[in-house]
Copies of this chain bind each other. A is one copy, B any other.
Amino acid sequence: MSALLVRQAQRLCEVFTELVRRYQFRDRDQICFHGLSISQCYALQALAARHSLTTGELARHLCLKISTMTRVVDQLVRTELARRGEDARDRRICRVEITAQGRALVAEVRKALVQEYAGVLRTVPAESRDAVIEAMSCLLAAFKGRPSCRPAKAAAGRVRRRRNGIPVKRR
């Protein structure tokens, strides 16, 4: 690996880590302000962008286990921000859709976030703003090429059990 690349990576590490750290806090506050958890918000945004998603697709998108996703969807359904529908082809599948109410909330959150960013951008010299945004999408593109979640944890001394074997005792 070239020395230059290493130096650049070090610099990026410093800057980006700190940037994300700061951003996270504000983002969290902003979103929670609207009564959504981060996961709920991500899920809702994903649903707003597509017509419908299955529980599994959502889980993969958010890097959550399906069991967790079920519960996040439960919350959204309970608050009537999303609804569960059936899939015509495969009756095991659960198609999740956003409701009008959900769509409205996503719009509201987005508006607040955009305001937030406008505030940030205002303190960036006007002539650099486009460059900053451009750089960001460049980096995003780079990230997109890589897996976002670690591929399950097949790592450790984890025994693969037969599905239909004798039920395993809980510890």
Contact = CB atoms under 8 A, between A and B. Distances in A.
Nearest to A42: B21
Interface residues on A, range: 35 or more
Given A117-B9, A133-B12, A136-B15, A27 B20 contact: yes
Tally of this chain's copies:
2
21 contacts: A5-B121, A5-B129, A8-B133, A10-B117, A12-B120, A12-B121, A13-B114, A13-B117, A15-B133, A15-B137, A15-B140, A19-B136, A19-B143, A22-B144, A25-B148, A26-B146, A29-B150, A120-B142, A120-B143, A120-B146, A132-B138
Report the 6 A-B pairs with minimum CB-CB distance, sorted nearest first. A135-B135, A9-B118, A29-B150, A9-B117, A132-B135, A123-B142
